[in-house]
Amino acid sequence: MPLVDENRSLVKYGLRLMRLGFKNKGLRRLTEMAGVDYSTMDSTNVAFAIVPRINAAGRLGDASLGVEMLLSDDDDDIERLCTKLMENNKRRRELQREAYENCIGTAERELERGSVAVLVSGDPGIYSLLPVLKRRWPGRNVRVVPGIGALQSLCAAAGEAWDDAAILSGHGRPLSAARFLSTAERRRLTVLFCGGDRSPRWACEALAGAVGGLGSRVEVVVGERLSYPDERVTRGTPSDLAGRDFDPLSLMLVRNAAPWTPPFGRPRDTDFERGGVPMTREEVRSVVLDRLELGPESVLWDIGAGTGSVSVAAALACPDGEVCSVECGAEAVALLERNRERFRLHNMTIRPGRALAVMKSLPGPTHVFVGGSGGELSALLARLPLLQCRGDVRVVVSAVTLRTLSEAVTALSGPGYRELEAVQVAVSATRPLGGSLLLMEARNPVTLLCARISFQF
């Protein structure tokens, strides 16, 4: 049913009541089991998370389960019914996968006898079944007969060419808010195929609350049921559209008239706002980044982030990753916020507080850099191997004092760590001496200790 006219009004009113809290105990419990936060409930949550779990019972032969769940007031009965609905939904998905495999299997058998036509919705060249079919049938001559896709329809409605557009999908694919926002920040046009919980509402709310006022610098165009008689195209600012609900499979266009170009290479010391907070200098920072061995989707904890020089450089290097900057000093936290805005970083999160206190709330890391620990280094390095992480975690500790060096060597050569190595960075830089004279002045050497957490001790 399209969300237009009175339908849109009814859905908007119903969602408003849902966000205030369910009076229906069965629906509330089913929402919890589905992993949906009712306070942010939108039409996509209803269409893709709640309704399929109720409908699955009828599809598998007993629609009364959903009715009983909605009418029951007994906690034990509700738990039993919701569990059964969850199991039915899982079985429904399994049957859908089996049906898909059966269809592909039938097509493969028919291919042995001649040609086969496969009809799919959407543009065959963008997030489609085409790559899957080519992998399943290598060497086959696959002829593609395209139609007019949603992307073309929306760009035509918006009066935009899309040759320079960045195309993202949240429909059946993981898409972080940081990646979406970073793309919208740096590209003139960003197209988002919506689906699941990555709805136009989600995107507009992310833009409206983004670092550096991104939401005030972009325009949004949302297309619903494109190419159908009841097609709807809505334009506005993110803040205007943030509270609205759209068709779950909408397409969204973000226009940025002045996209930001990040600095080429690694930022210089002079690029940062400075204060009385210690900063990892650019020569040492370059070695730190090399030793961390970051990838595009790395998750870095920068502990004792200071001014944020390592956090910023890492966030720029990992556009699809995440940087968590942990800092307990109030002045440093303020500097972190200003430097994050200065570089327009949406994948850099600031976590005020001491590392041991906040680490439970941080996402699982792939990399950890310790630039300062406030006297907690030994305890911190002892805690890291106890994390529940997938794969190895690369740890780099910066040591300026002999005490830090001793504690780091003892911890990183102990249980839970492997492949300990160290490098010392000693830098001399010119300093004006008077007139045209320059003096090479040595800076304090910094020792970087590197190891991996093995999770096998």
Model pLDDT, residue 412: 92
Looking at the fold, whether 67 and 195 belong to one and the same domain comes out as no
Looking at the fold, whether 291 and 433 belong to one and the same domain comes out as yes
CATH of the domain at 15: 3.90.1640.30
**Does residue 229 fall inside a structural domain?**
yes
CATH of the domain at 188: 3.30.950.10
Looking at the fold, whether 286 and 371 belong to one and the same domain comes out as yes
Looking at the fold, whether 286 and 393 belong to one and the same domain comes out as yes
**Does residue 264 fall inside a structural domain?**
no
252 DSSP β-pair partners: 192, 222
**Does residue 197 fall inside a structural domain?**
yes
Looking at the fold, whether 284 and 433 belong to one and the same domain comes out as yes
**Does residue 319 fall inside a structural domain?**
yes
Looking at the fold, whether 241 and 386 belong to one and the same domain comes out as no
Model pLDDT, residue 185: 93
Looking at the fold, whether 321 and 388 belong to one and the same domain comes out as yes
**Does residue 318 fall inside a structural domain?**
yes
Give pTM, 2 decimals.
0.73
Looking at the fold, whether 53 and 175 belong to one and the same domain comes out as no
Model pLDDT, residue 351: 93
- Which residue range is the domain that position 138 belongs to? 118-147
Domain count across the chain = 4
Looking at the fold, whether 66 and 85 belong to one and the same domain comes out as yes
Looking at the fold, whether 49 and 133 belong to one and the same domain comes out as no
**Does residue 162 fall inside a structural domain?**
yes
Model pLDDT, residue 315: 93
CATH of the domain at 380: 3.40.50.150
**Does residue 204 fall inside a structural domain?**
yes
- Which residue, of 228, 256, 284, is where some domain finishes? 256
Model pLDDT, residue 336: 94
**Does residue 428 fall inside a structural domain?**
yes
- Which residue, of 223, 256, 289, is where some domain finishes? 256
Model pLDDT, residue 22: 62
pLDDT tens for the chain, 457 residues: list them: 555 566 666 766 676 766 665 677 888 888 888 877 766 666 667 777 777 888 877 777 778 888 888 888 888 888 888 888 888 888 888 888 888 888 888 888 888 888 888 888 778 888 888 888 888 888 888 888 888 888 888 999 999 998 899 999 988 788 888 899 999 999 999 999 988 778 898 899 999 989 889 999 999 999 998 888 888 999 999 999 887 888 877 899 999 999 998 888 788 888 888 888 888 888 999 999 999 999 888 999 999 999 999 999 999 988 888 999 999 989 999 999 999 999 999 999 999 999 999 888 888 899 999 998 888 999 999 988 888 777 789 999 999 999 999 999 999 988 888 899 999 999 888 888 877 888 888 888 999 999 998 755 4
Model pLDDT, residue 457: 40
Looking at the fold, whether 20 and 87 belong to one and the same domain comes out as yes
Model pLDDT, residue 256: 94
Looking at the fold, whether 68 and 24 belong to one and the same domain comes out as yes
